[in-house]
Chain A
Amino acid sequence: EPEVTQTPSHQVTQMGQEVILRCVPISNHLYFYWYRQILGQKVEFLVSFYNNEISEKSEIFDDQFSVERPDGSNFTLKIRSTKLEDSAMYFCASSELAGVETQYFGPGTRLLVL
């Protein structure tokens, strides 16, 4: 069964450093998303991406964040200068169609900023 994959599974970085989180969405999906979950809290939407551009972003997704689809398979989230409060689990998701009926989530990247 096709699945969303993410690398790395864990990332530890120093405050102020740049990190890039990588995702490979399901191959025939066209809509891509990043969510994050701070430990013990709910999942929060960051950004959605379609046709090589951002379709929506949340208040969390400020100028320190960017997304890119550098090739036909990868979808990346970059945090330019990490802060302590960026420590969270980051989930990539994809869907075949627009909307929310079924979004498939990857296993997540646990980011720890020291």
Chain B
Amino acid sequence: GQSLEQPSEVTAVEGAIVQINCTYQTSGFYGLSWYQQHDGGAPTFLSYNALDGLEETGRFSSFLSRSDSYGYLLLQELQMKDSASYFCAVGDNTDKLIFGTGTRLQVFP
């Protein structure tokens, strides 16, 4: 089967750094994406890793290790508006995205 596992919930305070992990087991692998989803909203693309290493986009960074089937999303200088669900998603050599179980991030003042 295909599975992507994430912690169900993470909490942090404003200004802190938080890391959301994702481990995957899929029949194929093309790349790992991260999406943010606020309650009632659409998934919004954050970042994409096709190769091992760290990709940085402003306050958000994403890491991939293909040999470990593992990646993470790092959020720095947390703000209240970062409270949302975060999904990792794998492209498995086709056009579709396979989404993870999602991590609910709560940022407290």
Chain A residues within CB distance 8 Å of chain B: 31, 33, 35, 42-45, 48, 50, 55-56, 58, 91, 95, 98-108
**Structural contact, A101 and B48, CB atoms closer than 8 A:** yes
With A42-B102, A45-B96, A56-B95 known to touch, is A102 a contact of B45 (CB < 8 Å)?
A: yes
- Mostly, the B contact residues are strand
Asked if B89 lies at the interface with its beta carbon under 8 angstroms from chain A, I say yes
Tell me whether B96 and A100 are in contact (CB under 8 A). yes
Q: Which secondary structure dominates chain A's binding surface?
A: strand
Known contacts being A42-B87, A43-B87, is A108 close to B42, with CB within 8 Å? yes
A-B contact pairs, 13 of them (CB 8 A): A42-B87, A42-B100, A43-B97, A43-B99, A48-B95, A56-B94, A56-B95, A91-B42, A99-B95, A100-B95, A100-B96, A103-B97, A104-B45
Give the complex CA separation of A79 and B94 in angstroms: 24
Task: Give bound CA distance, A45 to B48, whole Å.
Answer: 18
Bound Cα distance from A45 to B89, whole angstroms: 11
Give A63 Cβ to nearest chain B Cβ, in Å.
20
B23-54 interface (Cβ within 8 A of A): 30-31, 33, 35, 41-45, 48, 50
Nearest CB on A from B43, distance (A): 5
Q: Given that A105-B42, A105-B43, A107-B41 are contacting pairs, would A42 and B95 also be in contact in the complex, using a CB cutoff of 8 Å?
A: no
- Select B95's contact among A44, A55, A91, A105, beta carbons within 8 Å: A55
B98 at the interface (CB under 8 A from A): yes
Chain B nearest CB, measured from A29 CB (Å): 12
Q: Kindly supply a per-residue 1/0 record for chain B positions 44-78, scoring 1 wherever the CB is within 8 Å of any chain A CB and 0 otherwise.
A: 11001010000000000000000000000000000
Given A43-B43, A48-B95, A91-B42, verify A102-B48 contact (CB < 8 Å): yes
Can you name the residue of chain A whose Cβ is closest to the Cβ of B96?
Answer: A45
Residues of B within 8 A of A35 (CB): 97
- In the complex, A108 Cα to B37 Cα: how many Å? 12
Question: What residue in chain B is nearest A32 (Cβ atoms)?
Answer: B95
B43 adjacent to A33 (CB under 8 Å) = no
Name the CB-closest residue of A to B41: A107
